[in-house]
């Protein structure tokens, strides 16, 4: 057994198995996926490496982003190694893909395991919500989904106090990240047409959008709507079916916004206040406006090298104090925009790196027609998410993004080598 493991073919076999489990575990427990990632990195150290990949600028871009982050730490006053450890996926995952080549069959299998992981995560979230909602009082079974019984059902949803909605429902990841995962899972089902393998996948095309509705992620719902629009126009040829589905998606999208309490509250607030900033606001999109306002001022003050990854949050908090933004200060909010966040942390080098990474994803998409739908949708999901969240500030975001970036890059390289 041990001899087979250290044989190159044995290593390759084990690595492929662990890669599938890692893909499955991403939507689930972060500790599990971290351990699996570390195991993959260790195994890769014993495997043969294709150093020719370093000639491909797209391959080394995440590494450059990591180096720029590490370099910025040296001109930060707050020097902590946690910032280096936190972004280690940017250099660990490339090491794995130096040693592995994925054919289309393996690529499809990795994507399917990710969908299965999302389904498992959703199932556990429902079990947890039901467990928290049911109780036995005086020998009677009672159902109480509202966390704080002083809240009405509607208010509990709007203010994140319901076991079946938002952060109380999403027990593995922040709601925005989980909605990103589910949107990618929907794209995979549509891209691979998985319903041809099993009709149950049709149900997932209903279940996952419903869960995104429950997560109440505004960005997630907008992304979901455009995914289906893109699928209708790019993959369906019959005009009558195309128009029928387009009307259906439009109606469902309108119902999503009408009947999701948080979205309805946001739209009503936006119609009254537009994009004005009320420094005393405690909820809603205004908090993002405050974060963006503070971040843009800091970028203007530090337009070349940024503030350094160690000092960025400190300087943001100082700006919140100066502007009287009490809630962003209290919640220690980051820039809530990946482009702003990277610019603040590592200046122009980091900002240009992230732009080139997105350009690389676009390049991968237009070259390979076979997987253009998945690649373009992934690029769209990531770009829109970057506009509203500092995705690479959490393991949930950085491991997911880097993993799928190199999966897509691997297919691009494999196709070009043929």
pLDDT one digit per residue (tens) for the chain, 418 residues: 344 444 455 677 788 899 999 999 999 988 888 899 999 988 888 777 777 888 889 999 999 999 999 999 999 888 888 888 888 899 999 999 988 888 888 899 999 999 999 999 999 999 999 998 888 777 788 888 777 666 655 555 555 678 888 888 999 999 999 999 999 999 999 999 888 888 889 999 999 999 998 898 888 988 998 998 888 887 777 788 778 878 888 887 777 666 666 666 666 665 666 666 777 777 777 888 999 999 999 999 998 999 999 999 999 999 999 999 989 999 999 999 999 999 999 999 999 999 999 999 998 887 766 788 899 999 999 999 999 999 999 999 999 999 999 999 988 776 665 5
Residue from 366, 27, 26, 378 nearest 190 by CA: 378
Angle, CA of 286, 169 and 31, to the nearest 5°: 100
Residue extents of the structural domains in the chain: 115-274, 280-418
Under a CB-based contact definition with an 8 Å cutoff, are residues 309 and 345 in contact?
A: yes
Give the global pTM: 0.90
Cβ count within 10 A of residue 51: 8
Alpha helices for 8-150 (secondary structure H): 8-25, 30-45, 57-73, 82-86, 89-97, 104-133
Cβ count within 10 A of residue 205: 15
SS3 224: helix
């Amino acid at each position: 057994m041990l001899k087979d493991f250290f044989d190159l073919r044995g290593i390759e076999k084990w690595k492929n198995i662990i890669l599938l489990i890692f893909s499955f575990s991403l939507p689930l427990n972060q500790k599990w996926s971290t351990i699996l990632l570390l195991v993959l990195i260790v195994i890769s150290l014993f495997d043969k490496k294709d150093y020719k990949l370093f000639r491909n600028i797209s391959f080394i871009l995440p590494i450059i982003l990591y180096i720029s982050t590490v370099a910025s730490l040296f001109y930060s006053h707050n020097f902590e190694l946690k910032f280096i450890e936190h972004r280690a996926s940017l250099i660990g995952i490339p090491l794995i893909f130096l040693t592995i080549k994925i054919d289309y069959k393996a690529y499809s299998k990795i994507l399917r395991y990710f969908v299965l992981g999302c389904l498992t995560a959703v199932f556990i979230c429902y079990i947890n919500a039901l467990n928290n909602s049911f109780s036995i009082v005086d020998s009677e079974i009672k159902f109480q989904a509202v966390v704080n019984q002083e809240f009405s059902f509607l208010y509990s949803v709007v203010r994140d106090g319901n076991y079946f909605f938002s952060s109380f429902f999403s027990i593995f990841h922040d709601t925005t990240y989980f909605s990103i995962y589910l949107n990618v899972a929907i794209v995979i089902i549509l891209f691979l047409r998985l319903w041809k393998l099993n009709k149950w996948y049709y149900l997932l095309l209903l279940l996952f959008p419903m869960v995104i509705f429950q997560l109440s992620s505004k960005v997630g719902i907008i992304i979901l709507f455009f995914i289906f629009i893109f699928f209708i126009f790019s993959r369906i040829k019959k005009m009558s079916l195309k128009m029928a589905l387009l009307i259906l998606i439009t109606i469902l999208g309108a119902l999503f916004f009408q009947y999701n309490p948080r979205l309805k509250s946001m739209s009503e607030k936006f119609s009254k206040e537009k994009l004005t900033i009320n420094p005393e606001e405690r909820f809603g999109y205004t908090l993002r406006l405050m974060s963006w306002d503070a971040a843009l001022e800091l970028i203007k003050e530090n337009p070349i090298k940024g503030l350094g990854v160690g000092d960025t949050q400190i300087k943001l908090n100082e700006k919140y104090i100066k502007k009287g933004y009490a809630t962003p200060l209290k919640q220690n909010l980051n820039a809530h925009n990946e482009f702003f966040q990277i610019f603040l942390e590592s200046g122009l080098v980091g900002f240009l790196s992230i732009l080139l990474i997105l350009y690389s994803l676009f390049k991968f998409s237009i070259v390979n027609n076979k997987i253009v739908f998945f690649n373009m949708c992934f690029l769209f999901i990531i770009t829109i998410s970057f506009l509203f969240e500092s995705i690479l500030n959490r393991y949930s975001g950085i491991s997911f993004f880097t993993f799928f970036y190199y999966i897509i890059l691997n297919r691009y390289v494999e196709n070009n080598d043929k």
